[in-house]
Amino acid sequence: MDESWDDLRLFLAAAQAGSFTAAARRLGLGQATLSRRIAALEERCGHVLFDRSRDGLHLTPAAEALLPHAEAMSEAGRLGVAALSGLEPGPAGVVRLAVPPGTAVDLIPPLLPLLRRRYPDLRLEVLSDNTARDLSRHEADVAIRSLRPTSGDLVFRRLGESALSVWASPDYVAALPKGATEADLDWVQWSSDLAHIPMATWVEARLAGRAPAFTSNSFLAMRAAAQHGAGAMVLPGLQGRLAGLVPVPVCLPPLPVLPFYVVSHRALRHVPRVAAVVDFIEEAMRDGEPDVWPPPHL
């Protein structure tokens, strides 16, 4: 299988890009050529490596088993070139980091200059939406999550926890009646497709059958609504402060505390670029949620 060395490189590009079109463009090959080479690799391996669908390529179990070896081969090649040039290689390449939208806007951008100075050859690609990326299918390399992983092929570190509070705009708080209770509050609430999350269930109990003032499945839209005085919103303290909101001075039942974890695939944990990002995130959040961001110890 002498030809498999180069075909593994093509397989890795297709797995990372998620489509033959994107991978071929990255490699400077024609799509038909790439597809033919992958088909030849599948024939030699005796396994189908990709399930093709309208939304792109999906890794089969055989591909998931092959992927860490292809990544190790790629990393070994990079280290070999660096050694020949007399350099001490550092983490390099792209790391796909999946985070919630609020984290993508508030927490990640201030860290980028620090990360860049420490690892100039490393580039972060942030994936941010309400969809949990499947790390077992290598839809991302690293994720920050509030749910403890249960899959055996994932490794994680608990970073700390985030204390939730009720926040609103200064003008909204100033307009509340003296001695206001939860019945006086208008609520910015998650839409029904996210009604299961702890913050949404807590707010639903406060509504007690009333309609919320605003609903959305977008964290950023909800926070913008709160900033413009639509009502009160449950937020982690740091994200409330960064948005210019203030705590709502109303006696309310205790809020849940959200733990958060940095998660990666077991097969990638020793890949230098992935390990560097995981270690950097853990260092940034090692003391839990800070009062200022970025934290001064970085």
Predicted confidence at residue 89, as pLDDT, reads: 63
| CA distance linking residue 65 with residue 97, whole number of Å | 22
d(CA 206, CA 110): 34
SS3 258: strand
Could you tell me the end-to-end alpha-carbon distance of the chain, in angstroms, rounded to an integer? 47
pLDDT at 186: 97
The CA-atom distances, in angstroms, between 150 and each of 16, 76, 154, 162, 197 are: 24, 31, 8, 21, 18
Q: What domains are defined for the chain?
A: 4-84 (1.10.10.10), 93-159+258-284 (3.40.190.10), 161-257 (3.40.190.10)
Where do we find the tokens 């180069």? 6
Q: Provide the residue-wise pLDDT of the chain in tens; the chain has 298 residues.
A: 455 678 888 999 999 899 999 999 888 888 999 999 999 898 888 899 999 888 889 999 999 989 888 888 887 776 666 555 445 467 999 999 999 998 999 989 999 999 999 999 999 999 998 777 888 878 899 999 988 888 778 899 998 888 899 999 999 999 999 999 999 999 999 999 888 888 999 999 999 899 999 999 999 999 999 999 999 999 988 899 989 999 999 999 999 888 889 999 888 888 899 999 999 999 988 755 566 676 766 5
pLDDT of residue 257: 86
Beta strands in the chain (DSSP E): 50-53, 56-59, 93-99, 122-128, 142-145, 154-168, 188-190, 214-216, 233-236, 246-247, 257-265
| 35-67 burial: b if 16+ Cβ within 10 Å, else e | bebbeebbeebeeebbeeeeeebebbeebbebb
pLDDT at 210: 94
- Residues 97 and 109: their CA atoms lie apart, in Å, by 12
Would you put residue 289 in left (φ > 0), alpha (ψ -120 to 50) or beta?
beta
**Which letter, b or e, does each residue of 132-148 get, where b requires 16 or more Cβ atoms within 10 Å of its Cβ?**
ebebbebbbbbbbbbee
